[in-house]
């Protein structure tokens, strides 16, 4: 499914990396990776790879200017047919699912379902692999009401018997009733009392609108990034 973002059309996909027979520790890979310096250190995604290191010195940086704020947003481009993330030796990467609108967050449910948050699409979807093929054959919209640029999600209480799915909108926290294995929210969104500042509306550069959420292991505290 195509999407419009920044004037460029693109498709969003989710990749997974699976381990093969040989796994190289990431620490060792980083130590033996290429060291990029000078202009090469300023490269783009084409030079990104596990273990690649970049050394940027003061001399490599552009000269300071009188501008108080420099806005240089990323340019969204269509994914090339043979372009995919690089993974460490001993791993293989494969396309898991595609056709999403700005997927920003993934979370595995207690039963193995994968929840995908489409932030700008204001939807939360559930992916399920019922055939054991390693790719989902069931995709359902779990929720699409009460969402405002959602990002982080968390099941509560922690463990296998969750009763709610908490969602961090850009301006507050909501929750949906949930039981393990649900493909649809059991009821409407419940707005919690906490109000979060919508930073994107007050900063000249737009600011970060993403809000993450997580519970402590004992379920007594909820942490929300602002």
- Same domain, yes or no, for 141 and 77? no
As a whole number, the mean pLDDT across the chain is 82
**Residue-level pLDDT at 17:** 66
- Same domain, yes or no, for 87 and 119? no
- Which residues share a beta bridge with 4? 9
C-alpha 130/C-alpha 109 separation (Å) is 14
Contact status, residue 94 vs residue 103, Cβ threshold 8 Å = no
Residues of the domain holding 162: 102-226
Q: Dihedrals φ, ψ of 200, to 5°?
A: -65, -25
What CATH number has the domain bearing residue 209? Answer: 2.130.10.10
- Same domain, yes or no, for 112 and 209? yes
C-alpha 115/C-alpha 101 separation (Å) is 14
The confidence band for 25, taking pLDDT boundaries of 50, 70 and 90, is very low
The structure's pTM equals 0.77
pLDDT digits (tens, 9 = 90+) for 61-107: 877 775 656 667 777 788 888 888 888 889 988 889 999 999 999 99
- Same domain, yes or no, for 190 and 86? no
C-alpha 169/C-alpha 101 separation (Å) is 17
User: Which range has the worst mean pLDDT, 24-33, 47-56, 61-70, 166-175?
Assistant: 24-33
- Same domain, yes or no, for 129 and 91? no
Q: How many domains does the chain have?
A: 2
Give which of 151, 225, 153 is closest to 194, Cα–Cα: 225
C-alpha 98/C-alpha 182 separation (Å) is 22
- Same domain, yes or no, for 83 and 133? no
What number is the average pLDDT over the span 151-168?
A: 96
- Same domain, yes or no, for 185 and 146? yes
């Amino acid at each position: 499914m195509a999407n419009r973002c920044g004037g460029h059309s693109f498709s969003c996909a989710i990749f997974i990396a699976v381990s093969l027979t040989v796994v190289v520790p990431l620490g060792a890979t980083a130590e033996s990776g290429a060291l990029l310096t000078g202009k090469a250190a300023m490269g783009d995604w084409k030079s990104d790879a596990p273990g690649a290191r970049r050394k940027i010195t003061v001399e490599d940086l552009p000269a300071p200017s009188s501008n108080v704020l420099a806005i240089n947003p990323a340019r969204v481009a269509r994914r090339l047919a043979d372009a995919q993330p690089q993974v460490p030796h001993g791993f293989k990467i494969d396309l898991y699912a595609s056709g999403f609108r700005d997927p920003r967050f993934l979370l595995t449910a207690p039963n193995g379902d994968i929840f995908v948050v489409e932030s700008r699409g204001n939807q939360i979807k559930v992916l399920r692999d019922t055939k054991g093929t390693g790719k989902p054959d069931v995709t359902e919209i779990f929720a699409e009401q009460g969402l405002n640029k959602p990002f982080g999600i968390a099941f509560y209480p922690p463990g296998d018997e969750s009763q709610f799915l908490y969602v961090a909108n850009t301006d507050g926290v909501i929750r949906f009733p949930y039981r393990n294995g649900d493909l649809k929210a059991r009821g409407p969104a419940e707005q919690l009392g906490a109000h979060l500042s919508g930073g994107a509306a007050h900063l000249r550069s737009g600011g970060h609108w993403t809000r993450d959420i997580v519970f402590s292991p004992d379920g007594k505290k909820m942490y929300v990034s602002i």
